[in-house]
Structure 1
Amino acid sequence: MGNAHGLSNGGVFGGWGSSPHISEFSRSGELVYDATLPVGTYRAYLGAWP
Structure 2
Amino acid sequence: MRRYVKELQMHVTFFTKSIEILKKFLIDKLNGFNLKSRRPKEVPQKC
TM-score, L = length of structure 1:
0.17
Higher Cα Rg, which structure: 2
Instruction: Give the number of the structure whose residues are more often strand, by fraction.
Output: 1
Instruction: Give the number of the structure whose residues are more often helix, by fraction.
Output: 2
The one of the two structures with greater contact order (alpha-carbon pairs below 8 A, sep at least 6) is 1
TM-score, L = length of structure 2:
0.17
